[in-house]
Amino acid sequence: MTPKAIRTICKALAIVSVVAGAYGSLLCMPFAFSRYLPVIATAGIYFAAGAVLIVGGLIGYVLLIKQETVSAITTAEE
């Protein structure tokens, strides 16, 4: 596999991570309004896990985009 193909796959996985985190966070919202403390605690844990997935995916995507931008600028200067 070429480095460009690997970067494309990593960018796609970063986007999938963001979408999965957002979907998981949205799915746990109804349980956060429960009357039972164990259900609320569990919803909070899944909400935090979704936030970690969102942040991780965004950071990964931004770093890959930054790498491509820097390499494009370097190539254009030569």
- What pLDDT tens digit does each residue of the chain (78 aa) get? 888 899 999 999 999 999 999 999 999 998 888 899 999 999 999 999 999 999 999 999 999 998 777 777 777 766
Residue 5 lies in a domain: no
- Predicted TM-score of the model (pTM): 0.81
22 part of a folded domain: yes
Would residue 2 count as lying in a domain? no
Question: Which pLDDT score, from 0 to 100, does residue 78 have?
Answer: 64
Domain interval for residue 21: 14-77
pLDDT number for residue 26: 92
Q: What is the spatial distance between Cα 26 and Cα 32, in angstroms, rounded to a whole number?
A: 10
Residue 3 domain-assigned? no
Q: Please indicate, yes or no, if residue 64 is contained in any of the structural domains.
A: yes
Domain assignment of residue 30, yes or no = yes
Residue 65 placed within a domain: yes
How many structural domains comprise the chain?
Answer: 1
**Is residue 49 a contact partner of residue 23, using CB atoms and an 8 Å limit?**
no
DSSP run (H or E) holding 2: none
